[in-house]
Amino acid sequence: MKQKYEEWCTHATLDEDLINELNEISNKEDEINDRFYKDLEFGTGGLRGVIGAGTNRMNIYTVMKATQGLANYINKNYKKPSVAIAYDSRTKSDLFSKYAASVLANNNIEVHIYKELSPTPTLSYAVRKLGCSAGICITASHNPSKYNGYKVYGDDGCQITTEAASKILEEINKLDVFNVSYSNFDEEIENGKIKYIDDKLLDDFVDDVYKLSVHQPTNNLKIVYSPLNGTGKKCVLKILEKQGFSDIHLVEEQAMPDPTFKTCKYPNPEKEEALELGIKLANQVDADIVLATDPDADRVGTAVKYNDTYKLITGNEMGVLLFNYICENIKLPKNPICVKTIVTTDMAYDIAKKYGVEILDTLTGFKFIGEQIGILEKNRHVDSYIFGFEESYGYLSGTHVRDKDAINASMLICEMASFYKSKNLTLIDKLEELYKEFGYDKNELVDYTFEGIEGMKKIESIMDYLRNNNIGDINGIKVIEIKDYNVKQNTKVDLPLSNVLSFYLDEDQKFIARPSGTEPKIKFYIEVKGRSHDDCEYKIKRIKEYIDSLI
């Protein structure tokens, strides 16, 4: 690690911030170890890590090395390769995107890059519309401000498959991080190897989202919206105005791009703090609904006015509401299909049964939902797809992209709220109707953060304990079945092996344990069914107590 550090001190000269950081940690052994004990892992989600100097950090060099590996893979598999690039509002996102473009151009790969920061779903859209061989999105989604990331998309507009990621990683591993060649970005713009994406493509994207509208709103819903200092503002405002909503109030403190996210340290719409300023403004203007999209605008969180206060709606609850709204209000195709992840609420099965919809369960990550859309398309059944969602606030009602889309979701949520408002119902009222029809259901996510080398070992030890101790009961609740997704499962969807464990308990209770693929966390997804909200709360509490004692 010390040797790698010294090598970086000699060669990492392109970015002054890296030079300063390397000098600052010269006598800090723990800091050096954390930056150099491994290479930042490249997988199906690409790269994601803390911004800074070192092999285990997001910086110009790790980005260029990954891009050269991608370039080698593309040139082996495509005759006239091209790549689309988008980036978000995070620190160095624009810089990383330009260096990625310059490496690709140097490898005679045509590049199409957005002129300004743009939502992740618009990257998936550009790949397909421009007929590109691949796509790159520089983003760390909803992570804290110290993170950035590098997502890779295939020619189908979906995040790369496990197989493609493995082949790209093979190419990356052949490379020296300081021996990657690149062109001059401005010169490549002049000679046409790098092209800016025309503004019309963004308009086309919004138009295609608008086609997915279920009902034209009949009342002017009062909306508060926050892009959480990210990329969503332009597209979300365009789609809402296109629908006819005019009473829209923007959270000004979070309206413009800000890589520090100083108003919200964790810009994740799953978390209550992300909607605090939006709810404050909603109280001032007496809004019906509050929306917040994460920095790359692929997730959206919601709060709605209910009994003179604002109540947050979870990702599972919103998924159920949207799924039911779509089934209830569109002419369903023959053999309709909804795709969700294994950690997403099983209440979807109750709604699916009522409307005759088939549910396909995938591993965690919207890329697996996008993959199923691609399979349907190849088999000429893509019209069967009506909705896809995951508990982490990701939704998609069309096939215009192959990733979750907060612009699509924001449109549907607002028109759905307007639709039920015309029937004197809030979204909370409608949710309560569904619970009375299908039974009370509650989901809760519990996660624990363990950073660095020791943290990684801790997470591994927790999973090993759960996997190898033949657990028969959880805090007095009988364990009926354990599914280990590291072993092949008999499922409708052919799932790749994954470090995930599902515990099915007595009385319609379960929890799923999995290490996060993007953060140093272990996550536990709890779901229970009960006679009432209080009964569900009690059951959740018992399982959480067990998990706390386990940790």
Burial 378-402 (b: 16+ CB within 10 A, else e): eeeeeebbbbbbbbbbbbbbbbbbb
Binned at pLDDT 50, 70 and 90, residue 41 comes out as confident
pTM: 0.94
Per-residue pLDDT, 451: 87
Specify the pLDDT at position 455.
Answer: 92
Q: Name the pLDDT band for 48 (thresholds 50, 70, 90).
A: very high
Average pLDDT estimate for 40-48: 87
Percent of the chain with pLDDT over 90: 91
The stretch 536-547 carries a mean pLDDT of 96
Long-range pairs for 527-534 at CB < 8 Å and ≥24 separation? 527/345, 527/346, 527/441, 527/442, 527/443, 528/441, 528/442, 529/439, 529/440, 529/441, 530/439, 530/440, 530/442, 531/440, 532/440, 533/435, 533/440, 533/442
pLDDT at residue 258, rounded to an integer: 95
Average pLDDT over residues 179-208: 97
The CATH architecture annotation of domain 219-312 reads 3-Layer(aba) Sandwich (3.40)
Please name the CATH architecture into which domain 440-550 falls: 2-Layer Sandwich (3.30)
Q: What is the pLDDT of residues 374-384, one digit of tens each?
A: 999 988 889 99
Give the pLDDT band of residue 44 (cuts 50, 70, 90). confident
Instruction: Note the pLDDT tens digit of each residue in 449-504.
Output: 998 888 999 999 999 999 999 899 998 899 999 999 999 988 889 898 999 999 99
What pLDDT, on a 0 to 100 scale, did the predictor assign at position 188? Answer: 98
Using pLDDT thresholds of 50, 70 and 90, give the confidence band for residue 35.
very high
Per residue in 408-455, pLDDT (tens digit) is 999 999 999 999 999 999 999 999 999 999 999 999 999 999 988 889
Q: Which of 141, 145, 384, 410 is catalytic?
A: 141
Q: What is the pLDDT of residues 71-107, one digit of tens each?
A: 999 999 999 999 999 999 999 999 999 999 999 999 9
User: pLDDT value at position 362?
Assistant: 96
pLDDT score for 219 = 78
Annotated catalytic residue 141: yes
Q: What is the pLDDT of residue 306?
A: 96
pLDDT top residue among 352 and 161: 352
Q: What is the chain's mean pLDDT, rounded?
A: 95
Class of domain 314-404: alpha beta
Same fold, 219-312 and 440-550: no
Domain residue spans of the chain: 2-199, 219-312, 314-404, 440-550
CA distance to 137, 388, 440, per residue, from 534 (Å): 43, 29, 10
Model pLDDT for residues 309-327, shown as the tens digit of each residue: 999 999 999 999 999 999 9
Q: Which fold has domain 2-199?
A: Alpha-D-Glucose-1,6-Bisphosphate; Chain A, domain 3 (3.40.120)
Helix axes of 199-210 and 233-243: crossing angle, nearest 10 degrees: 50
